Amino acid sequence: MKKNYLLPVYSKYDVKFKYGDGSYLFDNNGFKYIDLLGGIAVNIFGYNDFEINNAIINQISQYTHLSNLFEIELQNIVAEKLATLSNLDYVFFTNSGTEANEAAIKFARAWGHDKNKYKIIAFNGSFHGRTYGSLSATGQSKFWNKFEPILDGFVFADFNNFDSVLEVYDEKVCAIMLEPIQGESGIVVADKEFLEKVYNFCKEKNILLIVDEIQAGMGRTGKFFAYQNYNIQPDIVTLAKGIANGLPLGATISSKEVGDFLQPGMHGSTFGGNPVALAVANVVLKKLNHKLLERNIKVGKELKDKIKSIETKYIKEVRGMGLMIGIEFTDEKNAKEIAKELLKNHLVVGTSGDKILRLLPPYKISFNDIDKFVRILEKILDYK
């Protein structure tokens, strides 16, 4: 057997994809798969999109990289759009979601430094990334295993339990950091009352609210940002995944109050705000119009309703918002085994642990493909 030189940190499915088109993937044998994972919420406009491909070609014919020591027009264009959409003021570009969250953590501590505030309240079940700052803010100890000690200054409350926030708060807290929908924990949606209480508490105590929109943002819930489904206004928002439809790009968006604490030399990135990725992001932002966001709500509702209509004792709960859906199974079923069976039937899905299927399809997915997925899932549940 040929030696594999890749670090063995991924459990990979036994299929090799050759190319994609729209919301479909095609393997080496020419078989067509319906994609309901979208590269884990990344390929929001699917594959081989004409406008996105053209943007890449046009930019690489000019240059692929310039140092951030020089003015890059696309950075200003995309930053203005993101700041306007979020009702915030400054944007820092990164290469990934974990870097965007690292920046958010640093920015919050810079803001809190002269106030003698440095702690951050995060939540059990959260996932903010795998570098040390974002890992330390991740409320799942399984991700810390063998990497301890994690960084000091993070305390954890229970998601959707405001009283637990009060229990861990003290005068050293500079920020509360959360996902409006916890993706890696199985699509756990924040209760409206909980999230609005957290927001009001931040205002009362003069601490920052950091909202991680890396998986739930970019129109997936039917709003550009998932937090816009609630009556809140964060001080810092982080984005990545779908922002450049598969090219590495992240963003940390902040208020003027926070951003004014950052001066030249305090933070930086060699590749952050890469022109090719930004060319795609600019197209993505143009394509994310009101009509498409409304469609995401409609398609997501159709998908949830049809899954709920399956007559089976094995589905415990169907939850989510827009095109971010989790299917939790009873103890008799294993989500990873179901995902493998779906793959054999040419359907690509994700999982969160052993009990939850995670659906994050491209926005181009059709109603017919939804019907096909539900029919096959029903057959698998009945058979297995």
The domains of the chain are located at 17-48+290-383, 63-287
Q: Residues 186-210: what's their mean pLDDT?
A: 98
Which segments within 30-126 are labelled E, that is strand? 32-35, 90-94, 119-124
Given a cut of 80, is residue 102 above it in pLDDT? yes
Q: What is the dihedral of CA 65, 70, 73, 76, to 10 degrees?
A: 110
pLDDT tens for residues 103-125? Answer: 999 999 999 999 999 999 999 99
Residue 35: strand, helix, or coil = strand
Tell me which H or E stretch contains 383.
helix 367-383
Alpha helices in 227-344 (DSSP H): 256-259, 275-287, 290-308, 335-344
Among 35, 41, 9, 26, which residue's Cα sits nearest to residue 246? 41
Instruction: Read off the pLDDT of each residue in 138-150 and give the average, rounded to a whole number.
Output: 96
- The pairing of beta strand 347-348 with beta strand 32-35: parallel
Please report the pLDDT score of residue 384 as a whole number.
Answer: 47
Is the pLDDT at 324 greater than 70, yes or no?
Answer: yes
For residue 35, with 0-12 CB atoms within 10 Å meaning exposed, 13-18 middle and 19 or more buried, which class applies? buried
Is the pTM value of this prediction over 0.85? Answer: yes
| Beta carbons of 221 and 322 less than 8 angstroms apart | yes
pLDDT given at position 207: 98
pLDDT band at 383 (very low <50, low <70, confident <90, very high): low
Query: Topology of 17-48+290-383 in CATH?
Result: Aspartate Aminotransferase, domain 1 (3.90.1150)
At 373 the three-state DSSP class reads helix
* Local confidence band at 229 (pLDDT 50, 70, 90 cut-offs): very high
Closest CA to 139 of 187, 193, 182, 192: 182
351-364 tens-digit pLDDT: 999 999 999 999 99
Angle at CA of residue 92, ends 49 and 64, nearest 5°: 50
pLDDT tens track for 326-337: 999 999 999 999
| Domain 63-287: CATH architecture, name and number where available | 3-Layer(aba) Sandwich (3.40)
Sign of CA dihedral 370, 375, 376, 380: positive
CB atoms under 10 Å from CB of 290, counted, come to: 8
pLDDT-derived band at 1, boundaries 50, 70, 90: confident
Angle, CA 138 vertex, CA 136 and CA 139 arms, to 5°: 115
On the question of pLDDT at 64 being above 50, the answer is: yes
Round to whole Å and give the CA distance between 89 and 82: 9
Mean pLDDT value of segment 49-66: 97
C-alpha 42/C-alpha 131 separation (Å) is 19
Which residues, in sequence order, are bridge partners of residue 303? none
Q: Give the whole-angstrom CA distance, residue 131 versus residue 123.
A: 17
Instruction: Give the helix/strand (H/E) hosting 104.
Output: helix 97-113
Instruction: Tell me the DSSP string of 174-243.
Output: EEEEE-SEETTTT-EEPPHHHHHHHHHHHHHHT-EEEEE-TTTTTTTTSSSSGGGGSS---SEEEE-GGG
Q: What is the pLDDT of residue 2?
A: 81
DSSP state, 313? Answer: S
Query: Cis before residue 149, ω within 30 degrees of 0?
Result: yes
Mean pLDDT of the chain: 97
**Cross-strand bridge partners of residue 155:** 121
- Residues 206 and 12: their CA atoms lie apart, in Å, by 45
Q: Using DSSP bridges, classify how beta strands 90-94 and 347-348 pair: parallel, antiparallel or unpaired.
A: unpaired
